[in-house]
Amino acid sequence: MVRFDREKKEKVHLDTVKTIMDYVSEKINSFDSIIISDYAKGVISEELVEEVIALAKKKDKPIAVDPKVSHFDFYKYATIVTPNNDEASMASGIEIENEAGLLRAGEVLLNKLGSDAVLITRGEHGMSLFENNGEITHIPTVAKEVYDVSGAGDTVIGTVALSMASGASLKEAAVISNFAAGIVVGKIGTATVTPKELKDAVDNGLAEKRRR
């Protein structure tokens, strides 16, 4: 099968931006957290992101961003931004080939964005969380077998946002999202994680850690 998509990726009209902001402003008190998942299709603009982040900060709502490299300057002061290894390398201008490059890239992105944290997802190498308090946490992958990485990034950003909305710290949210990603890559196709699967994975991970 072959699928052809026809799309327009121009910036949406300012009237559309206003409609989106009116909706967010009206509903934000019922939100526990906000996700900006940027596909660079024209909706995510600097003006929109700036307004959404400012409103989220005012209402004390955590805001998580799944970024596009060309828009990195838009995400200043988001709670957490979750680039993958390649995106982090391109956005920071630093080739991430070893731990030194990784540490430097994380530092550059934190300073560039002024966010609370940057979570760099690194495939089979797990994740690295850089917090603005100076803490750096490397989280090893928990995936047993990898069948399909489709949707892994969406799983990470969704789990991070849900965890923060539930009261988890940035570090706890990152660890939980790592477990969730480890589950979905073990399934074929764009998969989801059930609450039981996630709870079992975390419980098993904690039990394994205690045995060491």
154 belongs to the catalytic site: yes
Q: What is the 3-state secondary structure (H, E, C) of the chain?
A: CCCCCCCCCCCCCHHHHHHHHHHHHHHHHHCCCEEEECCCCCCCCHHHHHHHHHHHHHCCCCEEEECCHHHHHHHCCCCEECCEHHHHHHHHCCCCCCHHHHHHHHHHHHHHHCCCEEEEECHHHCEEEEECCCCEEEECCCCCCCCCCCCHHHHHHHHHHHHHHCCCCHHHHHHHHHHHHHHHCCCCCCCCCCHHHHHHHHHHHHHHHHHC
Q: Which of 60, 148, 154, 200 does the annotation list as catalytic?
A: 154
Catalytic residues: 154
